[in-house]
Structure 1
Amino acid sequence: MGSKPSTVQEQQRSASVPNVTKSHQNGVSGTDTPSSTRNPPKSAAPTGRKPPSYHSRQIPPPKPPKTKKDDIFSLEKYQYVDDYVLNAPPKLLMGSFKELIRYLTAEEDWDDVAKARAIFRWVTAIDVYSLKVDSDPPTHSPLEYFTKIQKNQGNHAHLVSGLCQMAGLPCVIISGMNKSAAYEIGSKCERKQMGAQWNAVYIQDDWRFVDAFWASACVVGKKSSEWTLVDSDGNVTQEDEEESEGETQHRVNEFYFLPDPDQLIWTHFPDEQDWQLLAKPITVKDYETHVYVRERFYYLGINFTPQSEMKCILNTKDGEISLPFSLPPDRSEFFRFKYMLYKNRSADGDQSGADVNLDRFVLFEHTADSLRFALRFPLSGKFKMDIFGLDTRQSDIFDLTCTYLIHCPNAQKNCLPLPDCPPIGWGFGGEAKNAGLEAKSHDGAIIITKDGKVEIKLGAHKDIRLHQLLKNTIVDEATLSKYAVIREENGEFIVDLRLPQGGEYALKLYANEDGEDGEAGNVLNYLIKCNEKNLSNKPFPNITDGFLGKKSIADALGVKALSHKDGKIHSKDGRTRLEFQAKNNMELVCELHSNDPNATKHMKVYPKEVNGKWIFDVDMPIEGEYSVNIFAKKKGDENKRIYNVYSYMIESDGHELENGEENESKDDED
């Protein structure tokens, strides 16, 4: 007899738990033995049920299906089948195939999709390579056949074919090649080494693919010693891969139940062209050279664009290359992406650049309808680019979507790293939308400016506070903080930038709910480019936190602006009166700034307070730009804490100086 029933039951239950896979390649080299026969041999085929009503010579000819998988199947619609199958008695493993198929097709009102689903789900629920059998299992039992699979004397394709035929479902075994874990991406396809088998089942007048082996077994941790991981999502690393065959793990992958032919073809290439089930069949050369794509690519609805690279092996031009894709705009806000960049250790290349860190040389752009990776290389060589993705509504584990091999014969001249490499990528994406922002002026990742001046407008649909951080590879962040300000005006956030010099800048925007404590999260990033070398932009006058207008703390302290609510003011006569209401226990202080030394010499503030109403008359006789910061402090506070409650930027047209005052700037001009 086989192993104890309790042991078998435990294995089956463990295998039935849904599992989302990490990045891996399905299949194990040499496990599914190639065969040219469509029907399993007697020793492999389950028997004991009335033969199906068709003959192998009378099966419908292979033709492309008229509908897509999503048109006939969904997990929700057929959940009742899974619930039934996953509660199957463990004793079925040691019984006959007749008993098994009687259980799996007991419901007479089930359609063919339900029957095929029952067979697929029962077979894939068994963790074949972890089954432990203490003695010889019962003859002609499912358990006996699973032990044959363990010994490479049978395979999943023959098992599924036999069960389908017993259930009255036309089913064939397809022989061909697949890109399993043994396949080296970009290498020549060899039929002898890549031989495999899978199934096609005739359901609702169409042939549909099933690969129970790839759906239930995957290799995790396979590594090649020829690659060094040099950039993991913007994090610098020089991690040499150690040779490892990985380990086979049992994880149910739903993609391989009824996958559409145009999606399965790039990993499964049949010997007979008709069994591609494609209106326009591909060649072996197409299969061999096509970019390596996996099921997560299709789950996320990613598509290639007219500008996309369809080949697996690419060559850079002038040391750079772009990998663009399209995304479904109705759900891409829930998508997240990561990448890993490897360098080949043995390929010819710039060995003098071995010590060059390759972090921040990949621009990752993610917007509502597009995904793009732009790579620049400071050294030559052979590289591998893995792109991972997930849907946050379904999983928190990134899975491989596609892989490219990139040959860079010549490094980019004067190649500098990007100013930053944000994990959420560049451009207006899901995080910005979830924060309640709307792209009004710029939705792409890159903004080009000739004069170094940029104005970005964002619609605000939530009560949030926006913060900015400007970064550059040369200029420090403290200095750059004076060249960017944000204000809220008429339901919009407006970000104003003045770049101090040419180059690339990262504008990182952070958001949290207004009045909410804690660190604000990064929601949006822009890459600002300016090729002008001779810029003369001056910084903004001092704004305490770079945000104009009312600050979050103002309401809590009971301070309210009576005269000016917007953060930007234009003074035609060089004079402005600012009025505020404050609690009687609060004292307000006005701080006036200018970057013009002459303006600083002549500017004045005249404060006045009457019954909690504070008035600041600001005099700015010299034409130019000024900033005002209003601070509040509690009267008698021994700690002398002071809070910034309002900030303004004032453009003054100036006025004539009073008698006795001299305008030094005019004297200089004369």
Structure 2
Amino acid sequence: MRSSDPEEILRSGKGVCAGYSSLFQDMCSRAGITCISVNGYGKGAGYQVGQKIPDESNHAWNMVFLEGRWHLLDSTWGAGNTSENSSKFTFMYNEFYFLTHPALFIGNHYPDKKEHQLLQPTVSRKQFEQFPFWKGSFYNCGLLAFHPETGIIYSENGKVSVIVESQQDLQYIFDVNGNKHGVMKLVKCGMELDVYLQRTGDHELSIYAMQPGSSNKYTWVLGYKIICTAVDATMRIPKCLNNPVGPSWITEEAGLVEPSYPEPVIHTVDGRCTLSFKTIKDLNFLCSLDSDEIKITSNMERRHVFLTQTHDKVEMKVQLPSQGTYVLKIYIRPEGSKSSYDYLCNYLIICTNPSVKWPVFPMTYDQWGRNFELVHPLEGVLPKNTNIPFKLRIPDVTKVCFKGNTFIPLTFSNRGYWEGTCSTTGHEKLIVMIQYNNTNSWQYLLEYTVSK
């Protein structure tokens, strides 16, 4: 056992919490500051959310009398932290534990004497045991509050919800026993998390936070214990889903505002949905569809989403190939850039209708651009031996035609659309081509396949 004698602690540079406390008290005494040591229970390394607090003390800290009132501090935790097995101490100054407000200090310090809480009314032992698990990192990251306020959460049909509020926009990650079975939405100055448990029993939920753009790692800020007695077998979180989900301050900063679907999960009855954003920056978009339930081939991942973009709006039509749970991923890059697309966000799309079976959209080429609109046909696979009417809005071009076995021109109508009818008889593919003024070359725009 290490000594708690102040002179020995100072000489050796080593000591446990009682040594830190006694040395701090001795230093205050020499400086003429009234200080006492406080014994009690600290939720330190090895603590599990919801565990019963033993009667015997496991920690020591101090109270100092300054400017007419008492203050709390923990010089041990303020100096650094230990690893989970308490085998290594890392020196890392943490100002939070010096002159901490009593209402915050009580979150993980329970003194043997209630008057040492410096609270009115005082917190009972049972209340202390039921707190979620957090430390100074919670407030150092600028977090303000959390809900639920009890450390043990009972799931409802396998689902629990957690809300965290902060002073500013932060980035978050979470895990439940090392897994990511949840949907996290970033909101202004906080986040909302729905956890969907995959099995009954006890689970540990850990939440981490980080300043946007920070080079530092995510910091653990909050822990809960979840007790699950039933599981919703219909709700499964795909492994390909990236949290956070849905629009957020991140998409706003990128230049996408006023989302048509502000929530991260989209439920569709007929297997179709149309998402849109107002765009306040010049961006190019790329979208793909993914799923853990069916095999999404390279031909499918982008052809079940059709993009239409104007100068201030982007629209994404989605048609699911079958019932199931899907992830729509959205990528962006600045207009005119030749760099690769950067991932921006994703949505969770759920359809339980077994009759859903939508075909792919037509394949778009690079020339499919801003202010282009496809009215019909939207089906990428056309029936054989059929006359198909076409209607497109393609501004600033001289000619538009079909290319199959022959070239078939479309006509520019007085309504501002290129229109025409094409027979699929004898064609395996139909390609829509465009020609700009003062050029003799044709550029590919859309490609359709004719069913066999």
Q: Structure 2 length as normaliser, TM-score? A: 0.79
Superposed CA offset, 1:476-503 (max 9, x none)? 1532422212222251222222223332
Question: Contact 2:322–2:354 (CA<8 Å) still a contact in 1?
Answer: yes
Q: Bigger shift: 400-409 or 262-271?
A: 400-409
2:28 alignment counterpart? 164
| 2:71 maps to which of 208, 212, 217 | 208
Rounded Cα–Cα distance in structure 2 between residues aligned with 1:201 and 1:394: 35
Rounded Cα–Cα distance in structure 2 between residues aligned with 1:408 and 1:383: 8
Question: Contact 1:363–1:426 (CA<8 Å) still a contact in 2?
Answer: yes
Question: Contact 1:263–1:298 (CA<8 Å) still a contact in 2?
Answer: no
SS, match of residue 549 in structure 1: coil
Rounded Cα–Cα distance in structure 2 between residues aligned with 1:387 and 1:603: 60
Query: Which amino acid is 1:407 matched to?
Result: I
Query: Which amino acid is 1:367 matched to?
Result: V
In structure 2, relative to structure 1, the CA distance for the partners of 1:397 and 1:577 (3 Å cut) is closer
Question: Contact 2:34–2:64 (CA<8 Å) still a contact in 1?
Answer: yes
Question: Contact 1:567–1:648 (CA<8 Å) still a contact in 2?
Answer: no
1:99 alignment counterpart? none
Rounded Cα–Cα distance in structure 2 between residues aligned with 1:298 and 1:376: 27
1:136 alignment counterpart? none
1:489 alignment counterpart? 310
Question: Contact 2:293–2:325 (CA<8 Å) still a contact in 1?
Answer: no
Structure 1 or 2: more strand by fraction? 2
| 1:567 maps to which of 365, 373, 380 | 373
Rounded Cα–Cα distance in structure 1 between residues aligned with 2:123 and 2:447: 65
| 1:528 maps to which of 349, 357, 362 | 349
Superposed CA offset, 1:67-92 (max 9, x none)? xxxxxxxxxxxxxxxxxxxxxxxxxx
- For this pair of structures, how many residues does the alignment match? 425
Superposed CA offset, 1:437-492 (max 9, x none)? 21332222112222222222212122221211111223315324222122222512
In structure 2, relative to structure 1, the CA distance for the partners of 1:208 and 1:566 (3 Å cut) is farther
> In the alignment, does 2:219 pair up with 1:399?
yes
Query: Which amino acid is 1:470 matched to?
Result: L
1:190 alignment counterpart? 54
Q: Bigger shift: 202-211 or 174-183?
A: 202-211
> In the alignment, does 2:106 pair up with 1:265?
yes
In structure 2, relative to structure 1, the CA distance for the partners of 1:631 and 1:327 (3 Å cut) is farther
In structure 2, relative to structure 1, the CA distance for the partners of 1:183 and 1:604 (3 Å cut) is same
SS, match of residue 156 in structure 1: helix
Matches within 5 A, 1:355-366: 361-366=181-186
Question: Contact 2:308–2:316 (CA<8 Å) still a contact in 1?
Answer: yes
2:45 alignment counterpart? 181
SS, match of residue 325 in structure 1: strand
2:177 alignment counterpart? 342
1:403 shift after superposition: 1.6
> In the alignment, does 2:127 pair up with 1:321?
no
Structure 1 or 2: more helix by fraction? 1
Matches within 5 A, 1:252-651: 252-304=93-145, 308-318=147-157, 320-328=158-166, 331-332=168-169, 335-342=170-177, 361-392=181-212, 395-413=215-233, 416-418=236-238, 420-422=240-242, 424-475=243-294, 476-477=296-297, 478-535=299-356, 537-544=358-365, 549-550=369-370, 565-568=371-374, 580=396, 604-605=408-409, 618-620=419-421, 628=432, 630=434
1:159 shift after superposition: 2.3
Q: Structure 1 length as normaliser, TM-score? A: 0.55
Which structure ranks higher in relative contact order (CA pairs < 8 Å, sequence separation ≥ 6)?
A: 1
In structure 2, relative to structure 1, the CA distance for the partners of 1:261 and 1:579 (3 Å cut) is closer
Matches within 5 A, 1:232-247: 244-247=85-88
Question: Contact 2:49–2:152 (CA<8 Å) still a contact in 1?
Answer: no
In structure 2, relative to structure 1, the CA distance for the partners of 1:259 and 1:604 (3 Å cut) is farther
Question: Contact 1:377–1:415 (CA<8 Å) still a contact in 2?
Answer: no
SS, match of residue 337 in structure 1: strand
Query: Which amino acid is 1:543 matched to?
Result: T
In structure 2, relative to structure 1, the CA distance for the partners of 1:472 and 1:487 (3 Å cut) is same
Query: Which amino acid is 2:233 matched to?
Result: K
Query: Which amino acid is 1:448 matched to?
Result: H
Matches within 5 A, 1:34-45: 44=6
Matches within 5 A, 1:651-670: none
Question: Contact 2:82–2:88 (CA<8 Å) still a contact in 1?
Answer: yes
Question: Contact 1:629–1:648 (CA<8 Å) still a contact in 2?
Answer: no
Query: Which amino acid is 1:281 matched to?
Result: T
Structure 1 residues not aligned, in runs of 5+: 1-29, 34-42, 45-139, 223-243, 344-358, 551-564, 583-587, 593-599, 609-615, 650-670
In structure 2, relative to structure 1, the CA distance for the partners of 1:383 and 1:511 (3 Å cut) is same
Question: Contact 1:568–1:648 (CA<8 Å) still a contact in 2?
Answer: no
Identity %: 19
1:285 shift after superposition: 0.8
